[in-house]
Structure 1
Amino acid sequence: MNINSENKTILVAPLNWGLGHATRCIPVIKALQENNYIPIIATDGIALELLRKEFPYLQTLELPSYQIEYAKNGKNFKWKLLQNCPRMIEAILHEKIVVKEWIKKYAIDGIISDNRLGVFNKKVPSVFITHQLSVLTGNTTWITSKLHQYIIKKHSECWVPDFEGTPNLTGILGHINDAHFKIKYIGPLSRMTKNEIPKQYDLMIILSGPEPQRGILEEKLKNESSQFDGKIIFIKGIVEKEQKKEQIQNVTFYNFMNTRQLEQAFNESELVLCRSGYTTIMDLVKLQKKAYFIPTPGQYEQEYLAQKLEEEAIAPYSTQDDFKIKNIFDINKYKGLPQLNNAIDWPTLFEVFEK
């Protein structure tokens, strides 16, 4: 990329809620570079650490943390979030102020926010990336959805990483009637590429998401994996300064992997066991992998996606408490994720920053 005075600077800000929002921004950041834009990355926590490892040569900025925590008991998930609301609102208001300052300081010409609710400014074109036009929260879905749509409406455009018609991956999450804002369905976002290479592992286990639920599932699956008759690669989803590898009997453990390593691990694995987070589902579609899902307890979105895929005979799932390693072979009774190939028209999408 030849950088000159005409290259526009775009702030890319994914939410730090697990790793999904950060990883699905990787192809967005690469597309910006390929189309002669200058990305600046802004987030916090493990999302920031991951993107710094992926793009060590790009400028990164730290946003205030939303301090999102899960309850130990999934039934208390919604109430735990409500308890965290004052801290979240404080962080959102703070990031609005910070972004306003950054626009002047770094001459920012546009914003791409992946569910960062305060990363917005009327002075520059802004895009909001989300697969949740409806935010499922049980009997409060109507109000959480309206609030989310109110925030989305402030942006120039909303990019939904799914297909507009059927088949699609998000169902009622990403498809609503009478939207009063500009929606563009851009197709699934994935940093992965499918490669035909020899299989090295019978099962890949990959974890992500905020604590304590990530750690609770890790401990459960460590015990279950010891009873599996085959080779397992187990990625814990803990982003640290240094990569750690440990071999215990039939299981190879990693704390984290970069994109290239993770892509190879996926391609070398026969089956996948993971959360039913939407970014993971998009990666599995791209890689054409058969998977077994364990939704995060109490997280309505993941529970809905897991149930949707099972009802469509695509993939099985189990609750975290009920899962046994023998369940993994239920995968063979399902047809697997659809092969939905799409080429994203990035130059056309980026026209929003040229207006």
Structure 2
Amino acid sequence: MKKKILIAALNWGLGHATRCIPIINALIHYGYDPVIASDGRALALLRKEFPKLPFETLPAYGISYPKHGTWLKWKLLADAPSILKAVKRERHFTETLVKKHQLSGILSDNRLGVYSASVPSVYLTHQLQVLSGSTTFLSSKIHQRFIKRFTACWVPDSASHPQLSGALGHSKGLKLPVTYIGPLSRLKKQDCPKRYQVLILLSGPEPQRQYLEEELLEAFKSYDAPVLVVRGVIEEEQTVCHRGPLTIYNFMQTADLQQAINSSEWVISRSGYTTIMDLASLNKKAFFIPTPGQFEQDYLAKRFQELGVAPYCKQGAFSLKVLERINAFRGFESLETTTDFKALFRLF
């Protein structure tokens, strides 16, 4: 009888869900039966990728993004009581899922309450340190307290080179059960003829995703080369429309997105960590526009600019003139790391 493993992804943008895809594929490859759990857009995406797998809807954290990103930290603090209630609800719900599916293990991507004392429970995160400005020490300590409740903590990065997550996923002196499993990406590098000069890859929470979409569509409406836009809006059916040089999709699943990125010269995107792992996997040149108020994305964008990998600008400051800076940066180098899933799954 195959062992059943619960895979639970945080519904915050799409990055937590998409980086679970290679793990789910590996579980299937090694003879396990994955059970998918999430809510909202993250669950919708995973259900499209794995329509034959069983799924469960977890209690929503109810995180809403303020109109002005500078208020995000204070909005999260104000929402903390309701978030903790949702974590408590998902903690109890997890125990019912252990019994319902006779689970042999749990893998939670940043779902704080998805663990059980009765089965091995893994926490997947690149945020051993949670950047929040003047409150970084406090936010990191709170997160680390939650991590300690799990059997193991897997960090999707390398212990040494290339350390894509920088200070986020590497901190000395932490007494946590951390294993560096190597960067994760659902995408593979392919040799494709270049069809697009620019791929605009939109993601992240609303309304900031929409604000960036409006800004970039306006900037590229008269561009003199083909531009592909993937809006990151998960809907029942895939749609495509054309506006001058722009080809606009509402969303793409893995196979289409892989081909799209490989056939594009440059990628404009948020500086979310999952996106960075994908771009590194595909050896791409990128331009970043961090989500306002997200200290982590600001840190990663600044880090890769300082390393000479990719430039960035703040939302609201983009122009085609600013984009020209990309020519002075080398882009991401191909990753040469692999994840030993077979060894990792022995925990279950």
TM-score by length of 1: 0.97
Aligned to 1:248: 243
For residue 329 of structure 1, report the CA deviation from its aligned partner: 2.0
Q: Confirm or deny that 1:23 pairs with 2:24.
A: no
- Asked if residue 47 in structure 1 is aligned to residue 34 in structure 2, the reply is no
| 3-state SS of 1:197 partner | coil
Cα distance in 2 for partners of 1:278, 1:233 equals 22
Corresponding position: 1:150 with 2:150: no
Q: Does residue 280 in structure 1 map to residue 281 in structure 2? A: no
Structure 2 equivalent of residue 220 of structure 1: 215
Match of 2:105 among 110, 113, 128: 110
- Which of 252, 257, 260 does residue 255 from structure 2 map onto? 260
Residue aligning to 1:341: 336
Aligned length: 348
Alignment RMSD (CA, Å): 0.9
Q: Do 1:207 and 1:274's aligned partners in 2 also have CA atoms closer than 8 Å?
A: yes
Equivalent position of 1:178 in the other structure? 173
| Equivalence for 1:136 | 131
- Helix, strand or coil: the match of 1:211? coil
Structure-2 separation of matches of 1:103 and 1:229: 55
1:83 to 73, 78, 87: 78
8 Å CA contact 2:222, 2:244 repeated in 1: no
CA shift for structure 1 position 301: 0.3
**Is this contact kept in 2: 1:125–1:352, CA < 8 A?**
yes
In the TM superposition, residue 308 of structure 1 has moved relative to its aligned partner by 0.4
> AA paired with 1:21?
H
Look up the equivalent residue of 1:8 and give its one-letter code.
K
- For 2:174 and 2:71, the matched residues in 1 are separated by 31
C-alpha contact 2:291 2:315 (8 A) present in aligned 1: yes
Q: Is 1:128–1:159's contact at 8 Å kept on the other side of the alignment? A: yes
Q: Distance in 1 between matches of 2:331 and 2:258?
A: 19
Query: What CA distance in whole angstroms lies between the structure 1 residues aligned with 2:70 and 2:13?
Result: 19
Work out whether residues 133 and 148 of structure 1, in 8 Å CA contact, stay in contact via their aligned partners in 2.
yes
* Structure 1 runs (4+) greater than 4 angstroms displaced: none
Cα distance in 1 for partners of 2:267, 2:167 equals: 25
Aligned equivalents of 1:74, 1:192: Cα separation in 2: 30
Contact 2:222–2:245 (CA under 8 A) maintained in structure 1: no
- What is the aligned counterpart of 2:89 among 84, 90, 94? 94
Worse-matched range after superposition: 118-127 or 73-82: 73-82
Question: Matched residues in 1 for 2:312 and 2:222: separation?
Answer: 19
Correspondence 1:316 to 2:295: no
**Number of the residue aligned with 2:287:** 292
The answer as to whether partners of 1:163 and 1:187 remain within 8 angstroms in 2 is yes
Q: Does 1:232 align with 2:227?
A: yes
Contact 1:16–1:47 (Cα < 8 Å) also in 2: yes
Q: Deviations over 1:86-132 (max 9, x none)?
A: 22111111101110111111101100000001101111101100000
8 Å Cα contact 2:157/2:169 also seen in 1: yes
Give 1:208's match in structure 2, choosing from 203, 209, 212: 203
- Partners in 1 of 2:41 and 2:66 — Cα distance? 19
Distance in 2, matches of 1:156 and 1:146, equals: 18
Q: CA deviation at 1:71?
A: 1.5
The residue that corresponds to 1:269 in the other structure is 264
The equivalent of 2:158 in structure 1 is 163
Can you give the 5+ residue segments of structure 2 that lack an aligned partner in the other structure?
none
d(CA) in 1 for partners of 2:307, 2:299: 12
The runs of 5 or more residues in structure 1 that have no matched partner are: none
**For each residue in 1:120-151, what CA deviation from the matched residue of structure 2 results, as whole angstroms up to 9, or x when unmatched?**
11111011000000000001100110011111
Q: Which amino acid aligns with 1:9?
A: K
* 2:103 match: secondary structure: coil
CA deviations over 1:218-243 (Å, ceiling 9, x no partner): 11111111132210000110000011
CA distance in 1, matches of 2:330, 2:280: 12
SS in 2 for 1:86: helix
Query: Using the alignment, how far apart are the partners of 1:174 and 1:330 within structure 2?
Result: 28
Q: Please give the alpha-carbon distance, in whole angstroms, between the structure 1 residues aligned to 2:185 and 2:161.
A: 19
Asked whether the equivalents of residues 232 and 252 of structure 1 are also in contact (C-alpha less than 8 Å), the reply is: yes
What's the offset of the Cα at 1:75? 1.3
Residues 1:306 and 2:289 aligned together: no
